[in-house]
Amino acid sequence: MAKHHFRPARYFNAIGTAEPCLRIADGDTVVTDTIDASGLDAREVAVASRPNPMTGPFFIEGAEPGDTLAVRIDRLTPSRGTGWTYSPLALTVLDPAAIIDRPPSQRVVWDIDQAAGTVRLQEPVRGLEHFAPAIQPMIGCFGVAPAGGQAISTATSGPNGGNMDYRLFAPGTTAWFPVSVPGALFYLGDGHASQGDGEITGTGIETSFEMEVTFRVLKRSIAWPRGETAEDIFTIGNARPLDQALQHATTEMSRWLGEDYGLDARAASHLMGQVVRYDVGNVFNPAYTVACRIAKRWLTKR
């Protein structure tokens, strides 16, 4: 098991089957840089214009179609002291009648104070002079190459992952992705220093990051992304409308409870009906994200 330090020279705004930037072994760790759109210079824009420039793809030896790629998020460190967001609230989260009163779009800059562990508006608006939420780093967009030789925009998401903007994709979480091509071809980027549920203004606090992740190849099949923290397991559905995303996530959780915890469909329904929690990921971009989450204290592995 090796640790690789990779400094990208180019970025991608689609997740697909580009030539691998690095080949690594099962069990290896990669430390690499990701960049937000404001950090791109004129030479890079042709291959990495908005949305969400991605670092990668990484080829993981031994990963074959039908396998699962487990990606442990070891560390997410902002690499500069500022980030940016937009306001106001997105059209997708407002009542139609409220849209007429929506103010014009505005981009603002936030200071990222790693010593204090907080973020602050550089120019606070009235009422937010003392607003300083905690830095809570997360990965907004990551995943593996989709099936069928496709290249999917990093503005959206699907069974392969992508732009999910789910807050639990944070340090300490292991994310699982279904492998569809040899080597998996894994991409990551879109680091947020902080973000509320849903990415309801169209951005988190976007900034550049140094990210450290560790890869494992699992000889098992899944249909949708899954994740595990110290306290919970969760499954991800990506689709539009929102109820379809919820259906994908719920079905994947029922499968998982059968595969690893020995619960048949009836037992899984009793458990899920009482203790499941649903979290909202991205509700701004073309596909919405729903996470179906269960606390590990309710589960016993068989």
pLDDT tens-digit profile of 20-66?
Answer: 999 999 999 999 999 997 755 433 433 434 579 999 999 999 999 99
Give the pLDDT band of residue 284 (cuts 50, 70, 90).
Answer: very high
Which one has a higher pLDDT value, 218 or 50?
218
State whether 51 and 161 are in the same domain: yes
Give the pLDDT band of residue 76 (cuts 50, 70, 90).
Answer: very high
In a domain, 283, yes or no: yes
State whether 197 and 72 are in the same domain: yes
Question: What does the alpha-carbon distance between residue 89 and residue 14 come to, in Å, rounded to a whole number?
Answer: 26
Number of domains, the chain: 2
pLDDT at 115: 96
pLDDT at 302: 76
Strand ranges (DSSP E) for 100-240?
Answer: 106-113, 118-121, 138-144, 152-153, 157-158, 161-163, 174-178, 186-192, 209-218, 226-228, 232-239
In a domain, 289, yes or no: yes
In a domain, 64, yes or no: yes
State whether 68 and 166 are in the same domain: yes
pLDDT at 39: 53
In a domain, 29, yes or no: yes
- Rounded to two decimals, what is the model's pTM? 0.95
Mean pLDDT along residues 124-144: 97
In a domain, 23, yes or no: yes
State whether 143 and 288 are in the same domain: no
State whether 76 and 145 are in the same domain: yes
pLDDT at 301: 82
Instruction: Using the predicted structure, report yes or no on whether residue 103 has a pLDDT greater than 80.
Output: yes
Angle at 293 between CA 178 and CA 215, to 5 degrees: 35
Boundary (domain end) residue, out of 195, 218, 241 = 218
